[in-house]
Amino acid sequence: MNSQNRLDPERWVDKYADALYAFTVVRVSDAGIAEDLVQETFLSAWKAKDSYKGEASEKNWLYKICKNKIIDHYRKQKHAVVKISDREEDIFFDDVEHWTSETKPNEWGIDSEQPIQKKEFYSTLEKCKQKLKEIQQQVFVLKYMEDMDSDKICSLLGITSANYWVLIHRAKLHLRSCLEKNWINN
């Protein structure tokens, strides 16, 4: 084991609980579930501490366990997925998921590099994301925050490709509308 990559389980909660919670809560949008997943992360890490090889830092190792707990959470939720039977005619996006020229959002005229505007944006995005249906949130988080490909998301959530595209389409439309109402035109 690399001497720099030793575990210090007695300090995990003090060192990592808040950061793991922040990482988790934006992905599951529920404080109680996020707390449970962080606790499960620590418990799993404790159980696996003897098999830790030191190939990754303690922090990265804990984050990987936490990420797997989040994915397991979504996997368990797939039985609650609402099936969408037919795909709407898609007038907003082209074949490669970009806005069509007729329906693309207006220029927002915002400098995303400004720290205050960036913070306001992410705060508003989180509020808008919480307004999505649970399954739409799950698909959005897995696609855009966890960078999973669509086939893995479909498999994980137990949905068809057509269901996936409708869900991601609707999530984008709702988020666009919500951001324009609550941040852009505010």
Of 59, 80, 101, the residue that ends a domain is 80
Span 144-154, average pLDDT: 89
| Reported confidence tier of residue 86, pLDDT bands at 50, 70, 90 | very low
Tokens 């509308």 locate to: 177
Query: For residue range 53-72, what is the model confidence (pLDDT) as tens digits?
Result: 888 888 888 988 998 898 88
pLDDT score at 83: 44
Task: Reply yes or no on whether the pLDDT at 36 is more than 90.
Answer: yes
Task: Reply yes or no on whether the pLDDT at 87 is more than 70.
Answer: no
CATH value at residue 46:
1.10.1740
Q: Compute the residue count for the chain.
A: 186
Name the domain count of the chain: 2
- 177 versus 79: the higher-pLDDT residue is 177
Distances (CA, A) of 142 to 70, 133, 156: 10, 14, 10
Query: 24 with 15: CB under 8 angstroms?
Result: no
pTM to 2 decimal places: 0.55
pLDDT score at 26: 81
Distances (CA, A) of 129 to 123, 172, 174: 10, 10, 9
**Whole-angstrom Cα distance, residue 41 to residue 46?**
9
Q: Are residues 120 and 157 in the same domain?
A: yes
Of 80, 109, 136, the residue that ends a domain is 80
Domain holding 132, by residue range, is 81-186
Query: For residue range 9-23, what is the model confidence (pLDDT) as tens digits?
Result: 888 888 998 989 888
pLDDT score at 179: 84
Task: Reply yes or no on whether the pLDDT at 52 is more than 50.
Answer: yes
CATH value at residue 178:
1.10.10.10
Task: Reply yes or no on whether the pLDDT at 39 is more than 90.
Answer: yes
Task: Reply yes or no on whether the pLDDT at 123 is more than 80.
Answer: yes
Distances (CA, A) of 53 to 12, 42, 49, 61: 17, 17, 9, 10
Span 86-115, average pLDDT: 58
